[in-house]
Structure 1
Amino acid sequence: MAGIEKLSDKAIQAAIKLVAAAGKAKTIGDGGGLVLEVQPSGAGWWRLRYTFDSKPNRLSFGTYPEVTLAAARQRRREALALIASGTDPSDKRKADKDAKARKVEAARLTDAGLPLPGTFEYVAREWLSTVHEAKVSAGHAERTRIRLEQDAFPWIGKRPIAEVEAPELLQCLRRIEARGAIETAHRVKDACGQVFRYGIATGDCTRNPAADLRDALRPVQSRHHAAITDPKQVGKLMRDISEYRGQPVTRAALLLSALLLLRPGELRHIEWAWLDIEGATLTVPGATMKRTKADKADGPPHVVPLASQAVKLFKELHPLTGHSRYAFPALTSSQRCMSENTVRSGLRRMGYGNDDMTAHGFRATARTMIAERLHIAPEVIEAQLAHAVADSLGRAYNRTQYLDQRRTMMQAWADYLDRLRDGAEVIAFPVAEAQLQGSI
C-alpha cells in the first residue's frame, strides 16, 4: 500500500533523541493513519487515526518499545480490516473489554457460589430484595425465599431465565407434587410467575411460562382449621379448660383464645401496655395484625372490647406475668412471648387432637356460633375478627364502626360460653339481637 511503513526502528530512536534534546513532543507517522507520539520523557504512544461514518476517531495501540513497530503495524492492519467490514475498531475494543470483564465477574461469582446475571436465580433474588420484601412482611418474604431456594434454584436457578420454558418449570413443580406438597407446588409456581414478570420488566426475559401452567398442577384440597361448633362439645371444652392442671399462664391463654377472637399469633404477642383494664379494652397495634406490609405500617390498630370475664382473667394473670413485657411470656425468657405451640400443646394435653380442635379453631367456633346461636349481624362479627373487606374505604369503616355493638357481642359471647360450661340448656340466645341490629 502506497505511503505505508515509512518508519524504521532507527528513525524512531533518532526521533526520540531529538525530542528529548528539544524538550518538545513530536508526532511521526508510519502511514495509513498510524503515528507515534514521542514525548520528551522518551516514551512514545502508538495511535491510529481513522475516520468511521464520516467521524474522525483514534485508537491507542500502546507504548513504544513495549509495542514494537511490527506489532503496531499488525494492529493497524487488523483495525483497517474491521473498518473495511463496517465495524468501528473502537466499538470492537470496548465490546471485547466488556466481554472480558463479564467473564472475570462470572468466574468471581461462580467461585463465590453466587448466581450469574441473567439466570433465573439472579433475577429471582433481585426480585426478592427490590420488590417482594418491600411489599410483604419479613416472615412472608423469608418463606418465599426458602421455597425458591429449596424447590426452584437447584433445578432452574443456573438456567438463563429467558430460556426457561413451561415444560421445564412444570418438571420442577412435579418434584414438589411427588412428595405430596401440593399447596407448596402452587406457591412456588406463583412465586416463579412473579419472578418471570419482573424479568420481563427488566428485559431479562420476554414471557412468563408460569402462566402456561394454570391448569397443569393438581388442585389444592382446602382444609379448614379444626374447630368445635356443637354447643354440648363446646361446653365440655370450656369445662376441660377451666379444670386444666398445666401451667396457669397456658390455662389463661386457652380461656382468652375462646374469649378474644384473636388469631393465635396476635394473642401470644399481647403486651401489657396494650391493655386498658379500667376501660375494658385491648388495642392491638396494626404491625401485629395479619395485614399487608403497608397496612401493618400505616393501618389503624385493632380494638378488642373485653368482656368482664376477660378483664378478670387479665387481672388474675398480672401477678404472674406483669413483670414481663408480654402477658404470655415464654417459660424460658420473659423477653420473648410464648411459643406458637403452647396453646396447641395445651389442647393436646386435654385430649383434643389436630382433627378435633386447633388454636386457630377458636375463631371458627366463635364465628359460627355467634352467628347461629346469638343471631348477631355478620358485619359486627367480621369487624371483630379483623377480616379485611374489598376496598380501603371499607376496611377503614369496619375498623372504626360497630365498637358499641362489638362490646355488647363480646359480653354476650362470654356469657354464652359460661352457660355452656355450666351445662345450661343449649338454646338459641338472641338477647343481644335488638341492641346490635338497631344502629347497623
Structure 2
Amino acid sequence: MPLTNTTIKNARPRTKDWKLFDEKGLYLLVKTTGAKLWRMKFRHHGVERKLSFGPWPDVSLKKARELRDEARATLQDGLDPSRERKKAKSAARREARHTFAVLADEFLDKRQADGLADTTISKKNWLLNHLKSAIGSAPVNDISVPELLTAIQQVEAKDKRETARRLRSIAGEVFSYAIATGRAQTNPATQLRGALRTPQVTHIPAIIDVGQVADLMRAIDRCTGYPSTLAALRISPHLFQRPGEIRQMRWADLKLDDAQWVPRIDDLKMRKPHQVPLSTQALAIIEEMAALRNGPYVFPAFNSGERPISENTLNGALKRLGYGGKMTAHGFRTMASSLLNESGKWNPDAIERALSHKVGNTVSATYNRTLYWKERVEMMQWWSDWLDDLKAGKV
C-alpha cells in the first residue's frame, strides 16, 4: 500500500532499523535514532542495487517519488542510476573547482608561457582582478550574460568606459579558453557587444605641423639633464619606434657595422621579428652613449646600469620642455607617420613596416619585410636629414 504523509510522520523508531515501503522500489528506512531516510531498491543486469535520496522531511514524499521515477527512467535507458548519480556528482565537483578565478589564473599562466611580455601580463591581471571580485568564485560554466554584464557595469558606472570595454575583451579571452579546454560551453562576453557605453576616444598628443615640429626639435636640442634621458629623447624622433622598445634598447641588439637595431622579440609589442635601419644621426647618438656604457642597456636608469630608464622618463622630459598635453614620446610615431605619408616620397606599406605595423597577411608580411628593406633604409636617412634641415630652418 502506498505511503502517506501521516504514516511517515507517525512512524516511530524501534530496537532495530525498519522499513516503510511505498511503490516501485521506494521505501523509507526508519533508523533506531529516529532518522527517516529515503531509499530505492532496483536491479541492474540482475544485480540488486540501492539508491539514497536523502532524509525526510528534507526530501518530501512527493520529491522522493519524483527522484524514484527519474531513476527508473534511467534504468529504461539501460543505465545504472547509481553510477549516473556518482558521475553527475563528480562532474559537479569538478565544475565547482573550475571557477572564473581559477580559469583566469590558468589562462594568464598559459599566455605567459606563450611569451607574452610581463608588462602585458600585469595589465591583463589588473583587469581580471576587477572581475574576480564580482564573479571570481562562480563556476565559469554557470556565469550568465546578465551576471557578467552586471560585473562590468560596476566599473562602467565609475565613468571608466575604456576599462569596461577592455574588461569585456579580457573576459571573452578567458571564456574562449574555458571552452577550448572543456570547462565551459558558451562565451557570454560575445553577447555584450553593444551593451556597454562607447568609450570617449582620447587621441595621443602629437605634433604634425611642420613649423611646430621645427620648434620641438630645437627645444629638444636645448634640453639639459641626465645623459640617458637626453639621448633617448634625441633619438626618438629619428627612430619613431614604440617608447617602451626604445628605452629597452640593448647593446647586444645593435649591429652597428650594418647600421641596424634588431630588438629582442620579448621587447616588441607585436612579438614579430623587426629590424630598424639606423641613420647616421641615430648612430651618432648611440656612439655618444657608448662612451658612457655601464651595463646592458643603451639608455640606463640613473641609479642602475642594469635597468633601462623608466617608461615615464621621456614624457616627463617633454613636460619640462613645456610640451605637456601637446606631445608625448609615443607621439613621435604619429608625427613620422603623418609627415612621411604627406611627403609622397615613400610607399605607405614601407612606412607601416617601419612603424612595426602588420602589412597584409602572414605570407605577404614575410615577403614585404624583405621587399621594403632598401626603401626603409633610404627613408630613415631621408627622415633624419629632413629633421635636421627643419631644425636648421632650411625647410
Query: Which structure 2 residues correspond to residues 49-68 of structure 1 after superposition, within 5 A?
Result: 52-54=43-45
- Aligned position for 1:45: none
Q: For 1:182 and 1:193, locate their aligned partners in 2 and report how far apart those are by CA, in whole Å.
A: 17
- The within-5 A match list for 1:137-286 is 137-149=117-129, 151-286=130-265
Corresponding letter in the other structure for 1:347: L
Q: Which amino acid aligns with 1:377?
A: N
Q: Secondary structure at the match of 2:258?
A: coil
Alpha carbons of structure 1 residues 162 and 422: separation in structure 2 relative to 1, 3 Å = same
Aligned counterpart for 2:354 among listed residues 374, 384, 388? 384
Q: How far has the Cα of 1:267 moved from its partner?
A: 0.5
1:438 alignment partner in structure 2: none
**How far apart are residue 241 of structure 1 and its match?**
0.7
Which shifted more, 370-379 or 168-177?
370-379
Partner of 2:101 in structure 1?
Answer: 121
Of 268-277 and 248-257, the range deviating more from structure 2: 268-277
> Per-residue displacement from partner, 1:32-58 (whole Å, max 9, x unpaired)?
xxxxxxxxxxxxxxxxxx994335589
For residues 264 and 142 of structure 2, the distance between their equivalents in structure 1, rounded to whole angstroms, comes to 46
Letter of the structure 2 residue corresponding to residue 415 of structure 1: D
- For residue 235 of structure 1, what is the amino acid of its counterpart? A
Aligned-pair CA distance for 1:93: 8.8
**Bigger mean CA offset, 232-241 vs 246-255:** 246-255
Contact 1:343 1:359 in 2 (8 A): yes
Partner residue of 2:379? 409
Name the SS of the counterpart of 1:345 in structure 2: helix
What residue is the counterpart of 1:316 in the other structure?
288
Q: Which amino acid in structure 2 is aligned with residue 383 of structure 1? A: R
Equivalent of residue 388 in structure 2, options 379, 400, 418? 418
How far residue 117 of structure 1 moved from its aligned partner, in angstroms, is 1.1
The range that moved more, 408-417 or 153-162, is: 153-162
Match of 1:358 in 2: 328
C-alpha deviation, 1:281, in angstroms: 2.2
Distance in 2 (alpha carbons) for counterparts of 1:281 and 1:54? 77
- Deviation (angstroms), 1:351: 0.9
Residues 215 and 327 of structure 1: CA distance in aligned 2, closer, same or farther (over 3 Å): same
Q: Cα distance, 1:177 vs. partner?
A: 1.1
- Asked if the contact 1:116/1:122 (under 8 Å) is kept, the reply is no
- Between the aligned partners of 1:316 and 1:129, the Cα distance in structure 2 is 41
Q: Percent identity between the aligned chains?
A: 37
Deviation of the 1:168 alpha carbon: 2.1
Shift of residue 251, structure 1, vs aligned partner:
1.3
1:102–1:381 distance in 2 versus 1, CA, 3 Å: closer
**Structure 2: distance between partners of 1:359 and 1:131:** 28
Deviation per residue, 1:267-299 (Å, 9 max, x gap): 1111112223333222223332221xxxx3xx4
Q: Aligned pair in 2 of structure 1 residues 250, 374: CA closer, same or farther (>3 Å)? A: farther
Pairwise mapping of residues 102-121 of structure 1 onto structure 2 (< 5 A)? 116-121=96-101
Q: Secondary structure at the match of 1:140?
A: helix
User: What CA distance in whole angstroms lies between the structure 2 residues aligned with 1:286 and 1:369?
Assistant: 28
Distance in 1 (alpha carbons) for counterparts of 2:328 and 2:226? 18
Q: Which structure 2 residue ranges, 5 or more long, are not aligned?
A: 1-40, 51-67
Local SS of the residue matching 1:284: coil
C-alpha RMSD over aligned residues: 3.2
Q: How many residues align?
A: 331
Offset of 1:374 from its aligned partner?
Answer: 5.8
Q: Secondary structure at the match of 2:291?
A: helix
Whether the 8 Å CA contact 1:133–1:141 is kept in 2: the answer is no
AA in 2 matched with 1:343: L
When structure 1 is superposed on structure 2, of 198-207 and 188-197 the one drifting more is: 198-207
| Residues 229, 309 of structure 2: 8 Å contact kept | no
Please name the residue that 2:338 is paired with. 368
User: Quick check: 140-149 or 311-320, which moved more?
Assistant: 140-149
Q: After the TM superposition, which of the residue ranges 120-129 and 279-288 deviates more from structure 2?
A: 120-129
Q: Which moved more, 1:274-283 or 1:330-339?
A: 274-283
Task: State the partner residue of 2:24.
Answer: none
Judging changes above 3 Å, is the alpha-carbon distance between structure 1 residues 390 and 138 closer, same or farther for their aligned structure 2 residues? farther
